[in-house]
Amino acid sequence: MDKVNHEYGANQIQVLEGLEAVRKRPGMYIGSVSVRGLHHLVYEIVDNSVDEALAGYCNNINVTIEPGNIICVEDNGRGIPVEKHAKTGISAAETVYTILHAGGKFGGDSGYKVSGGLHGVGSSVVNALSEWTEVTIQRDGGIFQMKFERGKTVQPLTRIGDSDKTGTKVRFLADSEIFETLEYEYEVLEKRFREMAFLTKGLRITIEDKRVREKVEGEEEEEQKERKADFCFEGGLNSFVEYLNKNKEKIHELPIYIEKDGEVPIEVAIQYTTSYSENIYTFVNNINTIEGGTHLEGFKRAVTKVFNDYARNHGVLKDKDQNLQGEDIREGMTAVISVKVKEPQFEGQTKTKLGNSNVTGIVANAVADALSTFLEENPNVAKAILEKCISASRAREAARKARELARKKSSMEGSTLPRKTCRL
Ligand code: 0R9
């Protein structure tokens, strides 16, 4: 995408500290030095491209695992700025790769990094933890390249050719002195990039594994599954829930879609199936919050209230009836919730639980407004979902009664058992 914006200048980058700390304590920056940490390096670089996509300047990201476990990520954004940085005296691009916490708008006042990750220190952290890194930038009519070894510049940014395109390409080999393994798991990366493409409507992410694989015994060469995928979902979260429900029987054909901009931009897609379980995925700044948090709380609160209100107002629940419980309403529900939070606080054991308390009310209000309007406008869908909720509620009540009866029976049997006498 050749949408030019030169508002950003090299002198807007803040320079803070060096990279030695990263090599000394890698876990502090990427979580661990296991295969999880290794994958994190790839996510950090791809996150930068996704940020460029979220800013509206990039719509294509290609990820390749090259032979020898070299990672190559290429985007068609504006290209990292190449001009000289006022404070460091080196190019903006080299500054971003060699100085921790140098990172343009990342974390500054003029915008915020929303794809998650290390808040703009990603490029320098990857550089510090790689045996070598090579960055090629197409911008301002030229092709520029710089090279690093274990975070140290071995070739400063140099113009190596002309180009009328824009974009950034980063290749790196993770450092075997730091990581326990350099073997990327293709399936893990593929899943993550599918998810990222669902979460960023219209963004194309491709991944290809070009490593030579050892032949598995009994498997013909041509039988090896091709490790290559191309993800682009114009439907965004709707496509995500449809993908999650692909093997399930749907109660309504199209997902319910909610989108609201504002202080905390919110996107939600919901689709009910005949399944007995609930299946809710939540994301904050494209990070999967597997422990839930305040955004999930707000969503659950709104859904419970809206379906109960609708059921009462339309005579599905009578005065004498008890309210439907949240679990009745969520049985068979598949939902994806994605929110963007400027300064997310992550809590919980795996730091994947959103803690920002203001998000509960914001999500609850947005979901309640949009969902109640949807149900009023789509009475057939509302009816079908409520039938499912009522049947879940009846099943829950029947199970409770059966449990109570069994408990009573066993306590009565206990009281009629012959008493043991104890002679002293
Ligand atoms: C292949 C991986 N891609 C990247 O790492 C990547 C970083 C990046 C980028 C900008 C554009 N494309 C990019 N791809 C960019 C950002 C901004 C202005 N111009 C270009 C901006 O944030 O305002 N940058 C990421 C950080 C920086 N550029 C910067 F700090 F050097 F500005």
- Write the pLDDT tens digit of every residue in 390-407: 999 999 999 999 999 999
CA-nearest residue, atom 25 of ligand 1: 80
Predicted confidence at residue 245, as pLDDT, reads 98
Q: How far is the CA of 79 from the centre of ligand 1 (A)?
A: 6
Predicted confidence at residue 411, as pLDDT, reads 86
Lowest mean pLDDT among 3-7, 72-76, 130-134, 388-392: 3-7
- The residues, ordered by sequence, that sit 6+ positions from 127 with a Cβ below 8 Å of its Cβ are 19, 97, 98, 133, 148, 151, 172
Higher per-residue pLDDT: 109 or 181: 181
CB 201 within 8 A of CB 287: no
Residue 186 has pLDDT above 90, yes or no: yes
The band of 349, judged by pLDDT with boundaries at 50, 70 and 90, is confident
Predicted confidence at residue 43, as pLDDT, reads 95
Average pLDDT over residues 231-241: 97
Angle, alpha carbons 87-89-93 (nearest 5°): 95
Average pLDDT over residues 251-267: 97
Q: How far apart are CA 378 and CA 369, in angstroms?
A: 14
Does residue 105's CB lie within 6 angstroms of at least one atom of ligand 1?
A: yes
Predicted confidence at residue 3, as pLDDT, reads 47
Q: How far is the CA of 143 from the centre of ligand 1 (A)?
A: 15
Predicted confidence at residue 6, as pLDDT, reads 45
Secondary structure of 256-303 as H, E, C letters: EEEEECCCCCEEEEEEEECCCCCEEEEEECCEECCCCEHHHHHHHHHH
What's the whole-number average pLDDT of the chain? 90
Residue 12 has pLDDT above 70, yes or no: no
Residue 324 has pLDDT above 70, yes or no: yes
Average pLDDT over residues 85-95: 91
Predicted confidence at residue 394, as pLDDT, reads 94
Q: How far is the CA of 50 from the centre of ligand 1 (A)?
A: 10
Predicted confidence at residue 110, as pLDDT, reads 33
Higher per-residue pLDDT: 138 or 111: 138
Quote the pTM value: 0.87
The band of 184, judged by pLDDT with boundaries at 50, 70 and 90, is very high
How do 204-209 and 142-149 pair as beta strands?
unpaired
**Span 44-74, pLDDT tens digits:** 999 999 999 999 999 999 999 999 999 999 9
Does residue 308's CB lie within 6 angstroms of at least one atom of ligand 1?
A: no
Residue 10 has pLDDT above 60, yes or no: no
Residue 108 has pLDDT above 70, yes or no: no
Dihedral sign from CA coordinates of 61, 343, 347, 200? negative
Q: How far is the CA of 357 from the centre of ligand 1 (A)?
A: 31
